[in-house]
Every structure is written in structure tokens, then in C-alpha cells.
């Protein structure tokens, strides 16, 4: 089991989650973050830090976001590690209130 980043994170990147992770298991895409399930130690520190409530223990992930288990595992292999907090994306506050934004998920890695 691991923690999973789900849809509310798309287009936000507040990255408060990254600041508290003790094992650097967040990976960064253009407009989304994922958690490497092989690295996450289920410490539980990141969910309370996320302003959009996007992070769940796998067993508590809402059914409607089940596909994010695979999305986290897949992109953790393709995207670079992010190990320090950064500025949120422009428009993050508006994006945080949006529903049904899966189609906006950019599959590309954050350009390093
Ligand atoms: S704090 Fe939440 S919304 Fe922000 S990058 Fe982390 S998971 Fe995504
Ligand atoms: S649960 Fe802990 S180890 Fe897993 S991503 Fe969150 S802060 Fe990192």
C-alpha cells in the first residue's frame, strides 16, 4: 500500500506535500504530482498538508479516482523527483475548485 495523489491536484502544485515527505517520493509532471508507491512509507504526513485534499492512503481512495493508483505508479517511473517546495501554478486557486479535470492531466514530465 502507498499514498496516492488524485485528481484535485491537477493544475495546482501547491507542493506543501513535498515539503513534509521524509523520503522524497513525489515526482513532477507539467501540471500534476504523483507518489512513487515503491518509495512511500505510508507515514501519513502529506495528506493534512494538501490544500486541495488530493492525497489519500490507497485504502481510502474514493472509487471515482481508482485509476489514479495506476497513474501514480506509471508516472513515478517517467517523471523526475521533486524534493523541495516551489511556487504554485498560476491560477492554482481557481483550479483547486474545479471538478472533472482528468482530461487536463498532462502526461509529460516536468522539463528539468
Ligand atoms: S499539496 Fe496537494 S495539490 Fe499541491 S502538489 Fe501536493 S498533492 Fe498536489
Ligand atoms: S505518506 Fe509519507 S512517505 Fe508517503 S508520500 Fe506522504 S509524506 Fe511521503
* Residue partners of 64: CB distance under 8 A and separation at least 6: none
Q: What distance in angstroms lies between residue 44's CA and the mean position of ligand 2's atoms?
A: 6
Q: What are phi and psi of 29, to 5 degrees?
A: -100, -170
Q: Is residue 99 part of a domain?
A: no
Q: Is residue 108 part of a domain?
A: no
Q: Is residue 94 part of a domain?
A: no
Would the CA dihedral through 55, 59, 60, 62 be positive or negative?
A: positive
Q: Is residue 111 part of a domain?
A: no
Choose the residue to mutate in 5, 49, 104, 105 for probing ligand 1, maximizing ligand atoms within 8 Å of C-beta. Answer: 5
- The per-residue pLDDT for range 30-49, each reduced to its tens digit, is 999 999 999 999 999 999 99
Q: Is residue 30 part of a domain?
A: yes
List the CATH number of the domain containing 79. Answer: 3.30.70.20
Question: Residue 68's domain spans which residues?
Answer: 3-86
> Closest residue (by CA) to atom 4 of ligand 1?
14
pLDDT at 112: 74
CA-based nearest residue to 51, from 88, 91, 16: 16
Instruction: Give the CA-trace dihedral at 33, 46, 49, 35, to 10 degrees.
Output: 0
The share of the chain scoring above pLDDT 70, in percent, equals 100
pLDDT at 100: 96
Q: Is residue 97 part of a domain?
A: no
Report the distance separating Cα 59 and Cα 44, nearest Å: 13
pLDDT at 9: 98
pLDDT at 12: 96
Q: Which atom of ligand 1 is nearest to the CA of 55?
A: 7
Q: Which residues of the chain have pLDDT under 50?
A: none
Q: Is residue 98 part of a domain?
A: no
Number of domains in the chain: 1
Amino acid at each position: 500500500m502507498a499514498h496516492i495523489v488524485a485528481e484535485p491536484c491537477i493544475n495546482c502544485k501547491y507542493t506543501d506535500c513535498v515539503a513534509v515527505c521524509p523520503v522524497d517520493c513525489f515526482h513532477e509532471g507539467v501540471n500534476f504530482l504523483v507518489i512513487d508507491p515503491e518509495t512511500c512509507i505510508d507515514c501519513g504526513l502529506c495528506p493534512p498538508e494538501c490544500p486541495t485534499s488530493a492525497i489519500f492512503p490507497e485504502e481510502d481512495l474514493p472509487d471515482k479516482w481508482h485509476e489514479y493508483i495506476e497513474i501514480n505508479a506509471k508516472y513515478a517511473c517517467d517523471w523526475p523527483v521533486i524534493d523541495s517546495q516551489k511556487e504554485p501554478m498560476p491560477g492554482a486557486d481557481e483550479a483547486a475548485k474545479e471538478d472533472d479535470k482528468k482530461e487536463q492531466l498532462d502526461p509529460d514530465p516536468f522539463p528539468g
